[in-house]
C-alpha cells in the first residue's frame, strides 16, 4: 500500500475515530496503538523463509513509511 492509497482510505473515515493495528495468529488477537511514523531509506528483500526484510541505508533504492506500534 502506498501513502496515497492510505490517505484515500483514511479520508473516508471520521477524523475522531481511534486507530489501532491488529494481528491474528491461530486463535490469538493482538491489538496495538500507533506510537510514531517515520520514513526509512534502504533496500527491501526477502529471507529464504519468505519473511520481508529491510536493510537501512541512506543510499538505498527504496523509501518506506514505517509505523511504530506499542501494545494497546
Question: What gap in Å lies between CA 39 and CA 36, rounded to an integer?
Answer: 11
Domain ranges of the chain: 3-71
Question: What gap in Å lies between CA 22 and CA 43, rounded to an integer?
Answer: 26
- Does the structure show a pLDDT above 90 at 15? yes
Question: What gap in Å lies between CA 52 and CA 48, rounded to an integer?
Answer: 10
Tell me the pLDDT of the chain averaged across its residues: 95
* pLDDT computed for residue 50 by the predictor: 94
* pLDDT computed for residue 27 by the predictor: 87
Kindly report, residue by residue over 34-57, the tens digit of the pLDDT.
999 999 999 999 999 999 999 999
> Alpha helices, DSSP H only, in the chain?
3-10
Of the candidates 21, 52, 58, which has an alpha carbon nearest to the alpha carbon of residue 36?
21
**Length, in residues, of the chain:** 72
Amino acid at each position: 500500500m502506498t501513502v496515497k492509497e492510505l490517505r484515500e482510505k483514511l479520508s473516508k473515515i471520521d477524523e475522531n475515530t481511534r486507530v489501532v493495528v491488529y494481528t491474528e495468529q491461530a486463535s490469538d488477537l493482538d491489538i496495538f496503538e500507533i506510537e510514531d511514523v517515520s520514513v526509512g531509506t534502504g533496500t527491501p528483500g526477502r529471507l529464504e523463509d519468505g519473511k520481508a526484510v529491510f536493510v537501512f541505508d541512506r543510499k538505498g533504492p527504496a523509501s518506506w513509511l514505517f509505523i511504530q506500534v506499542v501494545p494497546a
